[in-house]
Structure formats: C-alpha cells, structure tokens
Amino acid sequence: MRGYLDHLTVERGLAANTLASYRRDLERYLASLAAAGVSDLAAVSTGEIEGHLARLRAGDEDHPPLAASSAARAASAVRGLHRFALREGLAGADPSRDVRPPVPPRRLPRALPVDDVVRLLETAAAVQAAGDAAPLALRDRALLEFLYGTGARISEAVGAAVDDLDVDDGVVLLRGKGGRSRLVPIGGYALRALSAYRVRARPGLAAAGRGTPALFLNARGGGLTRQGAWTILRRAAQRAGLPVDGPHAVSPHTLRHSYATHLLDGGADVRVVQELLGHASVTTTQVYTLVTVDRLREVYATAHPRARG
C-alpha cells in the first residue's frame, strides 16, 4: 500500500486530499482482508473485493453506509492497488479487473445567475467605498473578482503569488491539480480590483508579516488560507442576501461553476472552457453543457407559442 501511495504521489501527482482519502480507503480494505484471514494480495479473490465494497455501502457498527460517490472512490483505490501489485510482480493476476464500482449519480453544478454574481461583487465594492477596514475590504473585493474573473479553484487563488500576476498582459499563472499550470486571462473589473488591492492594501498587510510572496494576505501579513477565503465569500454572500447554508449555499466553487456556465452561455467553445478551467479531460467540462441545455429548455418552454401542448 505504501508503494502504491508513493507511486500516486511521485508519478501521478495526486493532490494531498485525494491521497489522504485513498489511504483511508486502503487501510479499511486491508483491515477487511485481515479480518478474513487474507494477508497476501496474491491470495485475494474477486468475491472478497465485491464483499468488501458491498459492506462499504451497507455500513457496520463502526462506519455509516458510504454514499455512491465515496464508494466509487474506494473501489477506484482498491482496483488501483491491485493493478499496481500486478505491474510490480507482487501478484500474478488482478482479481479486481471484473469488479465494477457503483456509478454515483451525476450532480449538475449549480451556477448563480449573472445578476446574483453582480450583486455579490457590488456588495463587496459598497463595503469598500464605505471604508469598512479599507485594506481588508480592498482585498476581499479583489479576491471575489479574481475567483469569478478567472474561474480559479479556491486552492489556486490562495496559492497564487504576486509574481504570478501579469497586469500588463492581463493574465495570471494558476497552479492546478496534478502539478498542472495554466495561464488564464483576467477581465478588466478583476484587474482594476487587483491593482487597487496591490497598491493601496497589500503593502500595509505585508508589513505585519514575514514577506510571504502570496498574492492574497490575511490581517497578520501571512498568506490567506482556504478557510479564510471561504469566510470572506460567506460574509459577502450574507450581505448580498444570497444563501450561505443548505443545499444552495454559495461557496467558492459556486463562482467557478458560474464562470464556466456564463462563458458557455455567451458562446464560448467547450474546449476553450476546458483549458480555462484546467480540466484534464473535456468530459469533465461537458457537465456544464448540460446546465446550459437545461436553461435553453426553460427559455424555449416559456417563449415558444407551441412549446406546451
């Protein structure tokens, strides 16, 4: 298991959170095998793997039932371990080859209407104009404009450095999943907010810290964390009258979903949106086309005189 996780870290470049999830999944799998008296991967049968995955869905006294998405991830971890064992000569066959993981239900990403995004950003601008903790208000608006203006993941935003931003060319270098980097254009609104923050707010915040290169800083001069960025968005959403709890709560990823959906609604090619989002496969991006098709159906149903029989 350690060898497989090292392989995923070094050769596949999986994110730390994904690796932690795989480690938990595999530790539970090996414990299940040990309870069945199996101590060698070469001795594992297809039935034992299927039994383990069925127990994950059913749950037990120590674990609640896993959702289809979590069970699918666990199945992927188990199958990857057996493929690795076969490739490394630790087993003569792959008993997981014919095991099919549960297919999680496809959940469509939720995007905010353009008017709601504008209200969110204008709320941040209004707080800034009111002089409410001016440096932090400038930072908050710059962060929100950055998230919506680039479609960055929250980890990419808080991981961006000052030198990653090229104001003259209007682009920023984002470091995404799997060590992949990409250049993304930034719109005029975001550039103006970033310029105001860098000139009028960041130097004062940086003076309280130890010279971090991070673009977005906290009140102590250190790099802004994911949790800090989430708090900023939640506060702005509350001021704008948008939901911050429940299934429709606004999150940093909501702005990313909105970015992609609004680009496609505006006529952008799905392959271009794939590059902008940093998706390794266009299949991941195509889920947004389903959202726009739903919107087209709504418009058709309300606008066409013979849409409803």
Residues 190-243 have pLDDT tens digits of 999 999 999 999 999 999 988 899 999 999 999 999 999 999 999 999 999 998
Catalytic residue chosen out of the listed positions 23, 177, 198, 239:
177
Task: Give the separation between CA 222 and CA 210, rounded to whole angstroms.
Answer: 7
Catalytic residue chosen out of the listed positions 73, 82, 256, 257:
256
pLDDT at 131: 52
pLDDT at 128: 55
Contacts of 146 (CB under 8 A, 6+ apart): 152, 157, 160, 172, 186, 190, 193, 194, 216
Contacts of 277 (CB under 8 A, 6+ apart): 151, 256, 260, 284, 285
- Between CA 164 and CA 281, with CA 226 as vertex, the angle to 5 degrees is 65
What stretches in the chain show pLDDT beneath 50?
none
pLDDT at 299: 64
Catalytic residue chosen out of the listed positions 4, 29, 148, 288:
288
pLDDT at 290: 63
Catalytic residue chosen out of the listed positions 73, 202, 257, 279:
279
| Catalytic (active site) residue 177 | yes
Angle between helices 134-150 and 188-200 (to 10 degrees): 150
Q: Secondary structure of the chain in the HEC alphabet?
A: CHHHHHHHHHCCCCCHHHHHHHHHHHHHHHHHHHHCCCCCHHHCCHHHHHHHHHHHHHCCCCCCCCCHHHHHHHHHHHHHHHHHHHHCCCCCCCCCCCCCCCCCCCCCCCCCCHHHHHHHHHHHHHHHHCCCCHHHHHHHHHHHHHHHHHCCCHHHHHHCEHHHEECCCCEEEEECHHHCEEEEECCHHHHHHHHHHHHHCHHHHHCCCCCCCECCECCCCCECCHHHHHHHHHHHHHHCCCCCCCCCCCCHHHHHHHHHHHHHHCCCCHHHHHHHHCCCCHHHHCHHHHHHHHHHHHHHHHHCCCCCC
| Catalytic (active site) residue 279 | yes
Catalytic residue chosen out of the listed positions 63, 253, 271, 297:
253
Q: Are 90 and 40 in contact (CB under 8 A)?
A: no
Give which of 242, 218, 241 is closest to 228, Cα–Cα.
Answer: 218
Residue ranges of domains in the chain, CATH in brackets: 2-87 (1.10.150), 115-248 (1.10.443.10)
| Catalytic (active site) residue 4 | no
Catalytic residue chosen out of the listed positions 79, 139, 141, 153:
153
pLDDT at 138: 92
pLDDT at 181: 87
pLDDT at 291: 60
Contacts of 7 (CB under 8 A, 6+ apart): 84
pLDDT at 144: 95
| Catalytic (active site) residue 153 | yes
| Catalytic (active site) residue 256 | yes
